[in-house]
């Protein structure tokens, strides 16, 4: 507890002596990339504390929604085929450390990396065949063999951003889920990690 208190005190002290800037924006995102068709978006913002001329730390809050379409499946040569899609919504709390290259008062490049705590709001799987089915993975499980679907995740990633006139930021990056989303029965092994790609624009206040 003493170590945690020391770290928190250091962050607060650092923040009090640093300049801060709020940004709000959104853009394209694939929250769980891996299917034939991935589409989605994100909305939110962060508060970038500029520690010194180059280094900064930016905690944030984001909402993400994505839709991923998988291929056609045919269980047997005589069986009917079906198609699956996954629609998910998340709340993410990122904390990114960034390094700034200021080329002039009108243009800057930022490289950043950090972690995001992600909490799943909804995760619905749709099955399309002769009958359309919808299942809630958080409530009903990943399948009927006892596999559960984890609601929360921790992602690690990074990217780059371009800032213009200290008002507009264009950013792009990737995040990778560190936790296995699948909670399998004892003795079973099944892996499912999130892989997120995003690109967007934000307004700086």
pLDDT band at 76 (very low <50, low <70, confident <90, very high): very low
What tens digit of pLDDT does each residue of 32-56 get?
Answer: 655 556 789 999 999 999 999 999 9
Provide the sign of the torsion angle of the four alpha carbons 19, 25, 31, 36, taken in this order.
Answer: negative
Question: Cα–chain-centroid distance for residue 12?
Answer: 26
Mean pLDDT is lowest, of 88-92, 104-108, 130-134, 142-146, for 130-134
What is the C-alpha end-to-end distance of the chain, expressed in Å? Answer: 36
Query: Which stretch of 24-28, 58-62, 69-73, 152-156 has the lowest confidence by average pLDDT?
Result: 69-73
Query: Which residues in the chain belong to E strands, given as ranges?
Result: 19-30, 37-50, 55-73, 82-104, 107-128, 133-136, 148-149, 152-164, 168-177, 182-183, 195-204
- Asked if 107 and 151 touch (Cβ cutoff 8 Å), the reply is no
pLDDT at 85: 83
Place 86 in a pLDDT band, splitting at 50, 70 and 90. Answer: confident
Residue range 60-84: average pLDDT?
A: 71
CATH assignment of the domain containing 191: 2.40.160.20
Q: 39 versus 71: which is more confidently predicted?
A: 39
Q: What is the pTM of this model?
A: 0.81
Q: Up-side HSE of residue 191: CA atoms within 13 Å toward CB? A: 5
* 175: helix, strand or coil: strand
Distances (CA, A) of 157 to 100, 123, 126, 172: 17, 22, 29, 11
Displacement of CA 103 from its chain's centroid (Å)? 30
Interval 124-176: pLDDT, tens: 988 876 667 788 989 888 877 788 999 999 999 999 999 999 999 999 999 99
Which range of residues forms the domain containing residue 101? 2-204
Q: How large is the average pLDDT for residues 88-99?
A: 96
Q: What is the pLDDT of residue 35?
A: 52
Q: How many domains does the chain fold into?
A: 1
* Helices of type H across the chain: 2-16, 137-140
Rounded percentage of the chain residues whose pLDDT exceeds 70: 80
Tokens matching residue 42: 């994100």
Q: Looking at the predicted structure, is the pLDDT value of residue 17 above 80? A: no
Q: Which residue has the tokens 């909305």?
A: 43
Nearest one of 59, 55, 45, 46 to 12, comparing CA atoms: 59
pLDDT in the model for residue 30: 84
Please state whether 44 falls in left (phi above 0), alpha (psi between -120 and 50) or beta.
left
What is the mean predicted confidence (pLDDT) over 60-83?
71
Q: What is the mean pLDDT of the chain?
A: 84
Percentage above 90 pLDDT, the chain: 52
Look at residue 4 in the predicted model and tell me its pLDDT: 47
């Amino acid at each position: 507890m003493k170590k945690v208190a020391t770290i928190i005190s250091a962050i607060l002290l650092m923040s009090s002596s640093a300049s801060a800037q709020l940004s709000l924006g959104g853009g394209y995102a694939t929250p769980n990339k891996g299917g034939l068709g991935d589409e989605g978006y994100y909305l939110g913002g962060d508060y970038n504390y500029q520690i010194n001329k180059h280094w900064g730390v930016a905690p944030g809050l984001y909402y993400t929604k994505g839709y991923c379409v998988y291929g056609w499946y045919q269980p047997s040569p005589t069986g009917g085929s079906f198609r699956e899609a996954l629609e998910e919504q998340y709340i993410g709390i990122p904390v990114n450390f960034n390094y700034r290259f200021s080329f002039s008062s009108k243009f800057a490049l930022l490289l950043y990396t950090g972690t995001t705590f992600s909490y799943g709001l909804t995760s619905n799987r749709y099955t399309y065949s002769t009958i359309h089915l919808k299942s809630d993975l958080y409530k009903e499980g990943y399948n009927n063999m006892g596999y559960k679907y984890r609601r929360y995740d921790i992602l690690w990633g990074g990217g780059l951003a371009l800032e213009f006139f200290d008002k507009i930021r264009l950013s792009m990056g990737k995040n990778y889920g560190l936790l296995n989303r699948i909670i399998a029965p004892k003795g079973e092994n099944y892996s499912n990690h999130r892989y997120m790609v995003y690109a967007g624009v934000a307004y700086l206040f």
